[in-house]
Structure 1
Amino acid sequence: MNFEYILKCVEDTKNMAKDIAPFIKNNIIFLNGEIGAGKTTFTKYLVEIYGLNDEVCSPTFSLENRYNTKNGLIIHFDLYRIKNEEELDMIGFYDTLKEDATILIEWADKFNIEKYIKNYKIISFKIHDSNIRYVTIK
């Protein structure tokens, strides 16, 4: 699965989430991109598409948010404040990777998480300007 998108507005982000939702269900997804690139906005629309109209916010401080949707569990991690892999272990991160869920991980590129899992996908958000984002999915 390789996709590329140019997002010019939040509606484009919603459409992208709708397009790829079937391909990422019950997978581990690394969400890469700088602050403000659209990672949490994408998560918000994915939760909505999976059938839950709940408030979605970045788990920067809680580290993990869970959404029980009509189409299964979504677990959303934000590892921005995590300093090392020992902290990941202390919060039960590696055990969570074994759950039957769609797992979205912001800032996964700070660590070598891929050495612990076999199957994952990467969604990379790149800010072009204040309104345009380039997104690649691998």
Structure 2
Amino acid sequence: MPHRKPSEDARASRPLTQRQYERRVARASKEHYELRLYVAGTSPLSTQAIENLNILCHTYLEGRYHLEVIDIHQQPQAVDSAQIVAAPTLVKTMPPPARRFVGNLAGSANVMRRLNMIANPVKPGAGCVV
């Protein structure tokens, strides 16, 4: 197990400064996400994944994403080329680094964090009805 310096641990747990937050928000408004969701037909997990991803994209990435849904039963060649071993699998190809998430995509905050995605800034007083 690699040894981490104490300063690295402290940096990882510190909250963002106002300047860091503003930079992140500015960067978020410019990033465009390329997403591919590999599903297994109309299975319950695949259906949940599609619904959860639609909510996530409309809520946090409005106007900044391109989503392609690929049914692995209809396009089996896509499974080999993308090296998909389970469905549903979400693949974020842009911006780098590429990331994968396997499952029904429940828990938007967890999905966003694990895929290293930045949400659109929330306007004060704006609510989201899902």
Q: TM-score, normalised by structure 1?
A: 0.31
Choose between structure 1 and 2: higher strand proportion.
1
| Bigger Rg, which one | 2
Q: Looking at both structures, which has the greater relative contact order when contacts are Cα pairs under 8 Å and sequence separation is at least 6? A: 1
- More helix per residue: 1 or 2? 2
